């Protein structure tokens, strides 16, 4: 009886599949390692496929590089001109031509008064005798000026305005105040041509952006057409992959990485072309700056510009391949 009771006593149930649950628990770190390993394999395989067709790959890279190098080089040229314009703007001056009745003593007194203005950084006095001497020396009419009975030139004050947050923003107001002085016959701002040059640069920047957008569209078309041809050449491989259950993401992945490589390699080649171009014109630019006693030096692509160029190439390559794969991959179905 006791044995029967012991045999019929219910035992504690063991959780079914407990060991299997422990073995199949999700490990995010393992998943990330597998996911990254898979993408790395496809990335390197795409690069190897390009390496096996060097001629066609180089042609595509060259076209992409030219399309990217042209706006990049023009933007760098515009940046150098902007730096040159800033140096001209900082060295701007106002010339005050005083009336003929104002003698040298009055001109010196006016110069001392103007030095106390907060909007004026420096005042230089050019007396009429000194002005006539400089004019005789540099104009080439020295013998003709010696025949004059009196000096026709007035006393001149050259003013350098104080730097403002925005160059040139208070110059017009300062010029109006100087014109109201009773000793002043004419006040001239030596900055108008610099402002016109700045307006031309603004127009040039917008033109470069338009050209860059059109060339970016050309890169999209180039990459898209190249990926389309690659899809057609691998049509049978795609059909087999779909027959064995390959997903669209799995089939799309190598083509996207191919577009990424095209964009990145094309951008690197564009960087080399831009650097080579500025290296060729660097020495003539130095000689030209030396003729004007200037220390201005050309600067090529900065680190930020290089990064933007590479990111732009990668983005255009990915976008072009995505458009091509999305359009042509769905049309291939196993029969």
Same domain flag for 156 and 289: no
Quote the DSSP letter at residue 91: T
Check residue 4 and give its pLDDT: 43
Report the alpha-carbon distance of residue 226 to residue 254 in Å, rounded.
13
In a domain, 228, yes or no: yes
Write out the residue range of the structural domain in which residue 76 sits: 37-87+196-328
* Residues 6 or more apart whose Cβ sits within 8 Å of residue 162: 118, 119, 120, 121
Question: Are both 240 and 321 inside the same structural domain?
Answer: yes
Same structural domain, 43 and 164: no
Give which of 214, 257, 269, 324 is closest to 63, Cα–Cα.
269
Q: Provide the domain count of the chain.
A: 2
Q: Is residue 147 assigned to a domain?
A: yes
pTM summary value: 0.66
**Side-chain-side CA neighbours of residue 10 (13 Å):** 3
What are the C-alpha distances in Å from 106 to residues 102, 111, 125, 174? 6, 9, 11, 21
Dig out the tokens for 219 from the structure: 């890169």
Segment-wise mean pLDDT, segments of 10 residues, the chain, 335 residues: 44 44 64 79 87 90 94 89 64 78 85 85 81 64 60 79 55 80 81 72 89 93 91 85 80 90 95 91 82 74 90 94 84 71
Quick one: 202 and 75 in the same domain? yes
Q: Is 240 in the same domain as 106? A: no
In a domain, 22, yes or no: no
Q: Where among 165, 190, 215 does a domain terminate?
A: 190
The answer to whether residue 211 is domain-embedded is yes
Q: Are residues 176 and 239 in the same domain?
A: no
- At which of 190, 222, 241 does a domain end? 190
The structure tokens 């023009």 sit at 74
Same domain, 220 and 275: yes
Last residue of a domain, one of 140, 167, 190: 190
Q: What is the pLDDT of residue 141?
A: 57
Report the CATH number at residue 173: 3.30.70.3040
Give me the pLDDT at residue 268, please: 95
DSSP letter string, 134-151: HHHHHHS-HHHHTT-SS-
Check residue 314 and give its pLDDT. 94
């Amino acid at each position: 009886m006791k044995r029967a009771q012991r045999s019929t006593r219910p035992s504690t149930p063991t959780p079914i599949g407990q060991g299997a649950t422990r073995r199949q628990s999700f490990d995010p770190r393992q998943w990330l390692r597998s996911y990254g390993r898979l993408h790395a394999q496809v990335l390197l395989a795409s690069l190897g496929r390009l390496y096996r067709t060097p001629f066609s790959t180089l042609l595509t890279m060259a076209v992409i590089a030219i399309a990217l190098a042209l706006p990049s080089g023009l933007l760098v040229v515009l940046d150098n001109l902007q730096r040159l314009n800033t140096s001209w703007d900082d060295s701007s001056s106002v010339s005050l031509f005083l009336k003929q009745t104002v003698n040298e003593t009055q001109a010196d007194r006016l110069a001392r008064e103007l030095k106390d203005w907060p909007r004026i950084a420096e005042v230089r006095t050019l007396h009429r005798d000194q002005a006539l001497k400089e004019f005789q020396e540099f104009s080439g009419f020295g013998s003709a000026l010696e025949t004059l009975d009196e000096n026709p030139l007035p006393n001149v004050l050259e003013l350098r305005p104080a730097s403002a947050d925005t160059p040139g923003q208070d110059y017009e107001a300062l010029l109006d105040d100087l014109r109201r002085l009773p000793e002043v016959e004419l006040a001239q701002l030596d900055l108008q041509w610099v402002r016109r040059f700045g307006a031309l640069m603004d127009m040039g920047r917008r033109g470069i952006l338009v050209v860059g957008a059109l060339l970016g569209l050309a890169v999209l078309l180039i990459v898209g057409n190249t990926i389309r041809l690659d899809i057609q050449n691998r049509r049978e491989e795609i059909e087999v992959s779909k027959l064995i259950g390959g997903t669209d993401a799995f089939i799309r992945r190598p083509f996207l990485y191919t577009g990424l490589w095209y964009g990145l390699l094309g951008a690197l080649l564009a960087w080399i072309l831009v650097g080579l171009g500025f290296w060729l014109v660097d020495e003539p630019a130095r000689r030209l700056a030396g003729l004007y006693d200037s220390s201005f030096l050309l600067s090529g692509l900065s680190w930020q510009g290089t990064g933007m160029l590479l990111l732009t190439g990668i983005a255009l390559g990915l976008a072009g391949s995505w458009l091509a794969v999305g359009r042509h991959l769905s049309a291939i179905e196993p029969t």
